[in-house]
Amino acid sequence: MQYNHEAIFCIVNSGYSEAVMDAAKRLGARGGTVINARGTASKEAEKFFHITIHPEKEIVMILVPKKLKDGVLHALYKEVGLDTPGQGIAFSVPVESVVGLATPNDTSAEKSEK
């Protein structure tokens, strides 16, 4: 099955969602949704990854055309990855179907009315 879109999820420390969106938009993403969250990592995870876990998180969901996915993920790694104050992780999942998404050249609704 061919998927045309990917959903990118980026989990960062609270206050870094704008940095996530700035990096994604530079690569062509048009917008995203931010969800406030709370991390539950253990002290063992902190020792294993050599980082301090901040419990207050933001999850940024970004829907992008599949061709933009790799560039956006790479930009997120550089801008807000684990070695930055944002201490972010990002992953993507394929999206089978999308509705309600218009492209700048999409006039299909207008054409169907004529």
Give the CATH number for residue 65.
3.30.70.120
In a domain, 94, yes or no: yes
Look up the pTM and report it.
0.79
CB distance 97 to 9 below 8 Å: no
Domain presence at residue 86: yes
For residue 81, what are the domain limits? 5-99
Q: How many domains does the chain have?
A: 1
| Whole-number pLDDT of residue 40 | 78
Task: Kindly give the interhelix angle for 17-26 and 69-80, rounded to the nearest 10 degrees.
Answer: 140
Mean pLDDT by 10 residues, the chain (114 residues): 92 97 97 92 71 84 97 98 93 93 56 40
Q: Is residue 107 part of a domain?
A: no
3-state secondary structure of 55: coil
